[in-house]
Amino acid sequence: MSLVDTHCHLDDRQFEADRDEVIERALAAGVWAILTVGTGDGPPDLEAGVRLAEAWPFIYATVGVHPHDASKATPETFQRLQELLSHEKVVALGEIGLDYHYNFSPPDAQRAVFAEQLRLARDARKPVVIHTREAWDDTMALLGEHSKLGGAGGIMHCFSGGSAQARQVLDMGFHLSFTGIVTYPKADSVRRAALLAPLDRLLVETDAPYLAPQSRRGKRNEPAFVVETARRLAELRGEPFGVFAAATSDNFRRLCLQPVQSNG
């Protein structure tokens, strides 16, 4: 059994006291790769994920400006992102997108920064990792343009929509990534979405330290717990756990690692 945690925040302060132990527990649980999201506290520091990826051979990183931090972005931010996208351990641009729930940055600024980062991803031929909250239509409109212009696809991070939204994402060529939400008793619509997704377009993630699976709900999440989410998804879909784990690992390799290898 081997799994990938395709989205976590290992730089988070909640891991300050025991980060190395958390990473070792993930390895012991059968997690062979971790994608740590490098948005951190936002610009000017864009290397939160890169620093961890450089220290551990099986950790990969993203770089990007989270929609919450869009108002911090400057022309120098985009120049630095362009440079970091050529780093050997940076495999995607994210998490990027739109979040109208908190509006920590004005919506106009969010849309402009999102669009510019989509352009950077296209130029670098990198997949994108998408965050969307209460901004579905605007997010899909910008992603639709991105796809038409030759974007390399990407991941709908922490998918929590229903079947109709899942079909939109899949029709656009993106992967659906599921968190511990699928283990929550009231998440029936998310489970239905997970059922309709083809096996070759599924990914699993923790979003650690957030969204721990049901058995640990309310506690700090960590990459080792991706196993529980994967087991629930495999059971739901009626697939042997080993088959499911291997498929999601292959999906990660194909989407995120093969471009690195072919460009290297």
pLDDT tens-digit map of 184-213: 999 999 999 999 999 999 999 999 999 999
pLDDT at 258: 81
Residue 256 has pLDDT above 70, yes or no: yes
- 99-113, 137-151, 248-262: least confident range: 248-262
3-state secondary structure of 186: coil
Domain ranges of the chain: 3-263
Q: Average pLDDT of 129-149?
A: 95
CA angle 84, 132, 95 (to 5 degrees): 15
CA-based torsion, 102, 107, 110, 115: positive or negative: positive
- Residue 89 and residue 53 in contact, taking contact as beta carbons nearer than 8 Å: yes
Instruction: For 47-87, write each residue's pLDDT tens digit.
Output: 999 999 999 999 999 999 999 999 999 999 999 999 999 99
- Residue 57 CA to residue 29 CA, distance in Å, equals 17
Instruction: For 226-238, write each residue's pLDDT tens digit.
Output: 999 999 999 999 9
112 — phi, psi (to 5°)? Answer: -65, -45
- Residue 249 CA to residue 210 CA, distance in Å, equals 22
3-263 placed in CATH 3.20.20.140: yes
Task: DSSP letter for 66, please.
Answer: -
- Residue 52 CA to residue 54 CA, distance in Å, equals 5
